[in-house]
Structure 1
Amino acid sequence: MALINSLVSWLNTKRLSQIDFFKNHPIEIQKETLTQLIEQASNTEWGKKYDFRSIHSLSTFKERLPIQTYEDIEIYIRRLRRGEQNIFWPSEIKWFAKSSGTTNSKSKFIPVSKEALEDCHFRGGKDILAIYTDLFPETGILKGKGLTLGGSHQINNINNDSYYGDLSAILIQNLPFWADFIRTPDTSIVLMEEWEEKMEKMTEATLGENVTSLSGVPSWFLVLLKHILKVSGKSNILEIWPNLELFVHGGVNFSPYREQFKQLLPSKEVNYLETYNASEGFFGIQNNPLDDSMLLMLDYGIYYEFIPIDCLGTDEPKAISLEDVKLYTNYAILITTNGGLWRYQIGDTVQFTSKEPFKFKISGRTKLFINAFGEELIIDNAEKAIQTACVKTNSVIKEYTAAPIFMDSNRKGSHQWLIEFEKSPQNIDEFTFILDNALMSLNSDYEAKRYKNITLEKPLISIAKAGLFYQWLKEKGKLGGQNKVPRLSNNRTIIEELLKINN
């Protein structure tokens, strides 16, 4: 094992030096990236439309190219899916990462180029290994196999030469043949569409394997791991896979799930690393287990811009470049990529925690918030307050969602939280009190609206029956993959659907 680790360390040396370089020269790398992207796409339809050849400065780039959402470019995506090429990007586009979103049932189809696969997503996967083995040089992770919980893919029904599916499935489908020797189960199982059948097959195929790492969305991994325990009759996962040492997670905030994973993986030797890998690109890797921020990966063929959250919704939101960001300020992310996305707003918000190097945390979604009364409650507030309430009441949350209760002639406004507990608090009133006070300490706007109950009354906690959110996702055909429970909504559509099932 020492020989294998030494070989891996030798292979990673060059890459780790490159990572150090962009950490030390972030602005230069970003400017070079933008120049290369513009040059590569100058002969595309998009490049001719905006005359890329005459763009020689960042200011011209920002003035000429508008900020885009998916709705703005959907008509071009449809053409790509029918087989047209050279629209956004010069290389062939035949893969589309399907994203169902969290606030809208309409699917998005994000183009994935060869460059995006190789230079962004696959490089991100390799960098996870490089960073981890550098952090833990005595690791035994390479002795066994990695268990990745991905989605599914299928042939696009518009053109049989183009394909779509969850990003994870696209990555698995395009991995080199030798990857089958270091992961489990085989591709035929991993890419199954029907979640419950796939869960059965994955359990059967992996029980006898030497699994040393896990990779996927925490919420769905919990479902799988609990099923594996039920089938095996064991009390924790390490009795099945004693050499398991790493869980690479992303897709949702890990905080609500941390305690459940500690119970399933009861060892301080198990490490956790967060990644930020979306359909649109691979953006960040946690490079220090003691710091829950992620390193912004700056040489993946992505140019970043950021819109201060209070500028969203204005007629001309001002986007700033990386060098101008401030710490602990909420920004919506704009990306220009080697997949052909140009000044594209992906819908996530971040806060930078460091500028030397650039490190950040995901703070929420631009569409997932509650601001019915001027309280401006975002995901980051909710997750931290929930965590505080759980710790202080010795409870564990499985899933939750929250929405406003609107004012009427008989009552003031408030927030309703529908929570499925893994371990319920002894006193729900105490939980409510702590949650409410934590929100006030985290959000001055919420605190102002709660002052003497003038605008907002205390939250209403509704307890969900076991399996409610799973049932809701199943009824919507959204089991597995990258599908998530929406945490916050500014209307009552989702919570009313859930409450109807809960009765």
Structure 2
Amino acid sequence: MPIRIVNSIASWFLKKRFHQIELFLKYPNEVQNELLFSILKLARDTEVGKKYDFASIRTYKDFSQRIPIVTYEDIQSQIERSRSGEQNIFWPRPIKWFAKSSGTTNAKSKFIPVSTDSLEDCHYAASKDLLCMYLNNNENAQLFTGKSLRLGGSKELYKENGTVFGDLSAILIDNMPFWAEFSSTPSSRVSLMSEWETKMAAIVDETTKENVTSLAGVPSWMLVLLNNILEKTGKDNIFEIWPNLEVYFHGGVSFNPYIDQYRAILSKKQFKYYEIYNASEGFFAIQDQNYSGDLLLMLDYGIFYEFIPMDTYGTSEQKVIPLSDVELNKNYALIITTNAGLWRYKIGDTIRFVSLSPHRIKVTGRTKHHINAFGEELIIENAEDALKKVCKRTASEIVDYTAAPIFMQGKGKGAHEWIIEFKTPPENMSYFEELFDNALKALNSDYEAKRYNNMTLNKPKIHSARPHLFYDWFKENDKLGGQHKVPRLSNSREYIDELLRLNKV
């Protein structure tokens, strides 16, 4: 069958899903409510279902009053029992897979349950919907005339007690339908290599021979791969290698620090970027418009959403609200109930709604990834907006960064200490610091108040990192590749002190 006919058939098939998407766009609260009671009914005879008497829950109020909000630590013992082979604890169908995730704020590994339901109705459904959104917006797309270059953190899978754990991307690749292997590169054999640098060389060798039409992966590591490809081929532009490349599907970390570097090597104006919001716990939102950073919250993936307004988060006034009660431009901590048996689980991310019809969001950071040592409530969104503005003013480019407090000692004032690895450093670091400080003040009134006349905070202290510092830090901590992320902001000095030590080596 001619390849362009295959492209047309695949495009037609994916676009049919758009009619189902329109249903939750039109009836978001009804779809969420129906989903909640569907999974409550499914799980009513599980251990958790019996403990909280799921069978008698009739309203959202019943649900919210009876079942507590939990963190991973609260349910770790249940998960460990499930990993040992026990079933019907928190989900009625067998849980075979566990996505290993360490995050960035906790060195201890988490093992997130992945059910067959969540694989099929969430992760794989989202992959198809991502293509559906893109194809619906780009009638002349030719994605299926070539292959998608997928870059995951896939290490080998480990088997214990009849269950399997490993990186989520390894689980997805291991369970992928056979036809998906033919539409993507590198091969599963290369994708599942465990040693990152060996795998990188193999990916370069394998993918440069293919007709790649799309990219998919975390921005930081995809950039490493693309630069390696340019170095090996001696080309200046990725389109010299893959002339039919048309879109990059990205997620995992904010794209803001990387966008200028991507535009330098992907220089076609019509090239598109599509953002996704996913995690080991589920796939949550997809960019549904060209040239937009707003993400459509997907409401029919077997995930019921709740939200904690960040202005009351962690206080005695903390409240939890359903989708029907959210407001525009407020920062919320995300709570999920899923078709893999996570019940009112605090995922640790913060989001805000930029539209309520339909429900579109922006990811603003992590509940633990902020600096609030002095009441300044500095979040990642503030930091990245400020850095983007200052880099534009100073013609500089950033590779990676992290920040932490300088705690008060005696009568000394506090401050924020930053270590930034530049691709193109500013000519005058003092001027960069001044602009950055002013940009943060303009974006965050709490920060501005603490900086007023150096009342609580002195101006930020910025270190310029040596080349490859963050890469070396990942390597030293066995975190090269895939889903591993630089901890951007922290109330602890653990990460910045490690990086400052490495910066002297």
With the shorter chain as reference, the TM-score category is over 0.9
Give 1:23's aligned amino acid.
Answer: L
Name the SS of the counterpart of 1:310 in structure 2. coil
- Does 1:215 find its partner at 2:246? no
Tell me if structure 2 keeps the 8 A contact 1:151–1:165.
Answer: no
Gaps of 5+ in 2: none
Amino acid aligned to 2:290:
P
Tell whether the 8 Å contact from 2:156 to 2:193 is kept in structure 1 after alignment. no
Structure-1 residue corresponding to 2:195: 194
Distance 1:123 1:224 in 2: 27
| Residue 144 (structure 1) aligned with residue 146 (structure 2) | yes
The letter of the residue matching 1:209 is E
- In structure 2, give the amino acid aligned to 1:407: M
CA–CA separation in structure 2 for the residues paired with 1:13 and 1:467: 43
Is 1:149–1:221's contact at 8 Å kept on the other side of the alignment? yes
Kindly, what percent of the aligned residue pairs are identical?
A: 57
Contact 1:5 1:137 in 2 (8 A): no
Q: CA deviation at 1:174?
A: 0.7
Partner in structure 2 of residue 93 of structure 1: 95
Distance 1:423 1:92 in 2: 51
Deviation of 1:167 after TM superposition, in Å, equals: 1.3
Q: Alignment length, in residue pairs?
A: 502
Q: Which residue of 2 aligns with 1:7?
A: 9
Superposition deviation, residue 239 in structure 1: 1.1
Deviation sequence 1:306-347 (CA, Å, 0-9, x none):
001122222573110001111110000000000110000000
Structure 2: distance between partners of 1:113 and 1:369: 32
- Counterpart contact for 1:363–1:380, Cα < 8 Å: yes
Aligned to 1:66: 68
1:391 corresponds to 2:392: yes
Residue 431 in structure 1 maps to residue 432 in structure 2: yes
Amino acid in structure 1 at the alignment position of 2:112: I
Report the alpha carbon displacement of residue 2 of structure 1 after superposing the two structures with TM: 5.8
- Higher deviation after alignment, 256-265 or 307-316: 307-316
3-state SS, counterpart of residue 33 of structure 2? helix
1:168 equivalent in alignment to 2:169: yes
Equivalent positions of 1:92-491 (< 5 A) are: 92-156=94-158, 158-159=160-161, 161-315=162-316, 317-409=318-410, 411-491=412-492
8 Å Cα contact 1:153/1:170 also seen in 2 = no
Alpha-carbon distance, 1:180 to partner: 1.1
The alpha-carbon deviation at position 12 of structure 1 amounts to 3.0
| Separation of aligned partners in 2, 1:433 and 1:240 | 41
Give the Cα separation in 1 of the matches to 2:105 and 2:374. 20
Pick from 62, 70, 77 the counterpart of residue 75 of structure 1: 77
- Decide whether aligned partners of structure 1 residues 468 and 328 sit closer, same or farther in structure 2, where only a CA change above 3 A counts: same
What are the Cα deviations for residues 53-85 of structure 1, in whole angstroms up to 9, with x where unaligned? Answer: 011111010111000100000001101111111
Which moved further from structure 2: 348-357 or 97-106? 97-106
Using the alignment, how far apart are the partners of 1:165 and 1:429 within structure 2?
Answer: 45
Matches of 2:236 and 2:53 in 1, distance apart? 63
User: 1:157 Cα shift?
Assistant: 5.5
Secondary structure of 2:194's counterpart equals: coil
AA partner of residue 189 (structure 1): V
TM-score normalised to structure 1 length: 0.98
Q: Give unpaired runs (5+ residues) of structure 1.
A: none
Name the SS of the counterpart of 1:154 in structure 2.
coil
SS of 1:385's equivalent in the other structure is helix
* CA contact 1:369–1:490 (8 Å) conserved in 2: yes
Q: In 2, Cα distance between the equivalents of 1:239 and 1:339?
A: 44
Contact 2:308 2:334 in 1 (8 A): yes
Give TM-score, length-normalised by structure 2: 0.97
The alpha-carbon distance between structure 1 residues 229 and 391, as it changes in their structure 2 partners (threshold 3 A), is: same
Is the 2:15–2:136 Cα contact (8 Å) retained in structure 1?
no
Deviations, residues 110-162 of structure 1 (Å, cap 9, x unaligned): 00000000000000000011111111110111110001001224343642x21
Equivalent position SS for 1:419? strand
The amino acid that maps onto 1:333 is: L
Q: Please tell me the residue identity of whatever aligns with 1:391.
A: K
SS of the residue corresponding to residue 441 of structure 2 reads: helix
Aligned to 1:27: 29
Q: Cα deviation per residue 1:390-436 (whole Å; 9 max; x = unaligned)?
A: 11111110000001111123631111110000111111112111111
Name the amino acid aligned to 1:379: I
Matches of 1:240 and 1:153 in 2, distance apart? 27
Offset at 1:10?
A: 3.0
Aligned equivalents of 1:44, 1:221: Cα separation in 2? 41
User: How far apart are residue 445 of structure 1 and its match?
Assistant: 0.3
- Tell me, in whole angstroms, the C-alpha distance in 1 between the residues paired with 2:201 and 2:10: 34
SS in 2 for 1:242: coil
Letter in 1 for 2:114: V
SS, match of residue 311 in structure 1: coil
Distance 1:310 1:408 in 2: 29
- 1:342-385, Cα deviation, whole Å (9 max, x unpaired): 00000000000000000000000000010111101011111111
Shift of 1:207: 1.1
Runs of at least 4 residues off by over 3 Å: 1-6, 153-158
3-state DSSP of counterpart to 2:257 = helix
- Cα 1:116–1:425, aligned 2, differ >3 Å: closer, same or farther? same
Q: Distance in 1 between matches of 2:192 and 2:312?
A: 41
Contact 2:157 2:170 in 1 (8 A): no
Q: In the aligned structure 2, how far is the partner of 1:441 from the partner of 1:224?
A: 36
Q: Distance in 2 between matches of 1:327 and 1:14?
A: 31
The 2-side partners of 1:380 and 1:166 are apart by 27
* Distance across 1 between alignment mates of 2:64 and 2:432: 48
**Corresponding residue to 1:43 among 32, 45, 51:** 45
Does 40-49 or 8-17 show the bigger shift?
Answer: 8-17
Return the letter of the residue paired with 1:206.
Answer: T
Select between 44-53 and 231-240 the one with higher mean Cα deviation: 231-240
User: Contact conserved, 1:155 with 1:162, CA < 8 A, in 2?
Assistant: no
Conservation of the 8 A alpha-carbon contact between 1:405 and 1:414: yes
